[in-house]
Amino acid sequence: MKTNTSTNVLTMESLASLCKRRGFIFQSSEIYGGINGFWDYGPLGCELKANIRDLWWRNIVRERDNVAGLDASIIMHPRVWEASGHVGGFADPMVDCRDCRRRYKADALCEEQNAQLQESEGRLSLPDGVVCTGCGSKNLTEPRAFNLMFSTHVGPVADASAMAYLRPETAQGIFADFSQILTVSRMKVPFGIAQIGKAFRNEINPRNYIFRSREFEQMELEFFIKPGEDTEWHEYWVSERLKWYDMIGLPAASLETFTYPPDELAHYAVACVDIKYAFPFGVQELEGIAARGNYDLSRHAEYSGKSQDYFDPETNERFVPHVIEPSAGVDRIALALLCNAYCEEWIPKNNTDGEPRPADPGAKRPPEGYEARTVMRFSPRIAPVKAGVFPLVKNKPELVAKARIVYEQLRRRWNCFWDQTGAIGRRYRRQDEIGTPFGVTIDFQTLDDDTVTLRDRDTMQQTRVALDELMPRMEQQIEP
RNA sequence: GCGAGCGUAGCUCAGUGGUAGAGCUCCACCUUGCCAAGGUGGCUGUCGAGGGUUCGAAUCCCUUCGCUCGCUCCA
C-alpha cells in the first residue's frame, strides 16, 4: 500500500467535516449545543478505535509471555491519588513562572519574600514585588487552585468524607494492584501489566479537535524490572513501540521522537521519550515512554503501609521493582491515523490516460479533464471497513443473490459494507472516502466462473480473482 | 482564563429589518455491464439556545453554549 504521498495542506476543518459527514466523530451532546472537551465516536470511529486497541493488546499482551492484562475501576480509593501526587501538591493555590516554568505554592512563595498573599472578592493575587525565586522574573501567573481531576461523591451523601475522583490516568490502577497480579500471574521480573481504559482530566482549555479532551482513552503498560536495568529496558520499549506504530501505518518517517534532557525530567525519572506526530496544529505527543524508577510503588508502599517488595528467588534479593511506562493515547493515535490517511487527489476523468496526482493546496477545483477524489489511505490493518461488497447492478436478482453470499462469507471474518445502490463508481468513491481498502464487485461473469473483481483503493486497479482466492488475497494485506 | 472571529439543511455556504435559499450529499424509481454517468420524483431547518427592541428579527441589543485562531495552560 502507498503511504500518504500527498503534499496537501490538511486542515482540521476539512478532516472534522469528513469525520462528521461519514460517521467517525461527532461532538458530544450536539443536540443540546455540545459540551466542550467531549466527543462521540460514530459507527466508523468506534471501529477504528477498536482496531487500535485490538492491535495494541495483541502486540503488548497476547504475544508476550511476560505481560498480563488488567481492567481496573475508574473510581478508586481517594488515597490512591494522594500517593500518586495528583492531589497533594496541587490542593494549594499555585503560581507558575512564565519564564523558567517553575511552579510554586503561592503562600510559600510570598512567605519567603516576607509578603502576604492577597485576597479580594474571592480572588487571590500576589502582592507587588514578589518574584520567581528561581530566575528573578516578575512574569508570574495569578495564583490558581490547580486540580484537574474530576471529583464526585460515592454514595448518596455528598459530604467531604465521600469525595472520590475519576481517574486522571489508568496507570495507578496497575500500581495499586501490583502485588495481587504478581501473586496470581506467577510472573517474574521482568514482567508487565497492561491496561486500556478511559481517563478524565478537567482540562482548562480543550483544544485541537479531539487532541486534548476531558474524557479520553489510554493504553498503558507498566513494565517492572530489576533496579539498574532501566536504561536498557527503556531503549527496548521505545524501539518496540516505534515498530508498532510502523505496523499500524505510522512509519518512523511520519513520527518524531523527543528525548527529554536530564534537567527537564521529573526528579524520580531516569529517562523519558515522547513519540510525536506532526498534526496540522503542530508536532504533538501521541505517547510518552518514561523510566520512572520505583517512585510509584514506593509511594503506594508508604501511603498504604503494604510492602510492594519483590523477592527474587534466584538471587535471594528483595527490592522494589523499577518501572518502564509506555503510555499512549488511543484518541490521539486515532487522530494521527486520520490525519495521516487523509488525501485529496485529482484523477483523470473517464478513465482516460494520465496518472492521479495530489490536489494543489488551496485549489478549489481540479483542472479540466480531472475530477477530485478524497481517499483515506488507512493501513488495511487499521481500516474501519475492510471491504465493500457490490453487485454490479441491483436489478438482476441472481446477481444480487450471489453477491449476498460473498458478503455473508466475508463479514464473518471482517467488518464489511454492503452497497447495491447507484452507479458502481459512486460506490467505490464512497468507500474511498472512509478508507476501505478493498472493493469486491460481483458481475455476470461471477455467475459463470466464480470470479469477482477486486478493486484496490489506492491504485484503483482491478484484478479478476477467483472466489476461492479472495479471502487469502485480502488476508495477506489485512493481517500479514 | 484573556483577546478576536464565527454559528443558517447531512456538508460547503449565500442571505444587513418584510414569505428562509443554492450547490453538493442523501433517499426512491427508471436507466446503467466497473470509477462521484443520465432521467424523474422526494426528504431536510425552532437560522446554536434564552431574553430584549420592533407592527415585524436569521438580520439590531443583552446573556449563554459551542467552534476556530492567537496568547495562556498542559501536574
pLDDT digits (tens, 9 = 90+) for A348-407: 876 555 677 877 766 666 777 778 888 999 999 999 999 999 999 998 899 999 999 999
d(CA A418, C1' B35) / Å: 17
Return all residues near A97 (Cβ < 8 A) that are at least 6 apart.
A103, A104, A132, A134, A135, A137, A139, A140
- Cα A380-A384-A390 angle, rounded to 5 deg: 85
Q: How far apart are CA A191 and CA A310, in angstroms?
A: 12
The span from the CA of A323 to the CA of A293, in Å, is 6
Whether CB of A144 is under 7 Å from strand B: the answer is: no
Return positions of chain B under 7 A from a protein CB: 1-2, 7, 10-12, 25-38, 48-49, 65-75
Give the closest residue to B34 (Cα–C1′).
A424
Nearest amino-acid residue to B26, taking CA and C1': A21
Strand B near-CB residues (< 7 Å), A 185-204:
201, 203-204
pLDDT score at A216: 93
Task: Give nearest nucleotide to A168 (CA–C1').
Answer: B75
With beta carbons less than 8 A apart as the criterion, state whether A62 and A53 touch: no
Nearest nucleotide (C1') to alpha carbon of A36: B66
Residues 6+ apart with CB under 8 A from A74: A166, A167, A197, A198, A199, A200
Nearest-nucleotide field for A348 (CA, C1'):
B35
Angle at which helix A43-57 crosses helix A230-248, to 10 degrees, equals 140
Low-confidence ranges of chain A (pLDDT < 70): 1-9, 88-94, 97-105, 119-124, 134-137, 139, 142, 144-146, 350-354, 361-365
pLDDT in the model for residue A149: 86
What is this structure's pTM? 0.90
Tens of pLDDT, residue by residue over A63-96, are 999 999 999 999 999 999 999 988 865 456 667 7
| A86 nearest nucleotide via C1' and CA | B75
C-alpha cell at A251: 512509519
How, if at all, do strands A438-442 and A387-391 pair? Answer: parallel
Protein CA at A458 to nucleotide C1' at B43, angstroms: 34
Integer distance in angstroms from CA A316 to C1' B19? 90
Helix A330-341 crosses helix A43-57 at what angle (to 10 degrees)? 110
**CA-to-C1' distance for A27 and B44, Å?**
20
DSSP β-bridge partners for residue A275: A257, A287
Using the CB atom, is residue A371 less than 7 Å from strand B?
yes
pLDDT of residue A7: 41
B74 C1' closest Cα residue: A203
User: How far: A208 CA to B60 C1' (Å)?
Assistant: 33
pLDDT of residue A36: 84
User: What pLDDT shows up at residue A290?
Assistant: 95
> Quick one: pLDDT at residue A265?
85
- Å between A48 CA and B52 C1'? 47
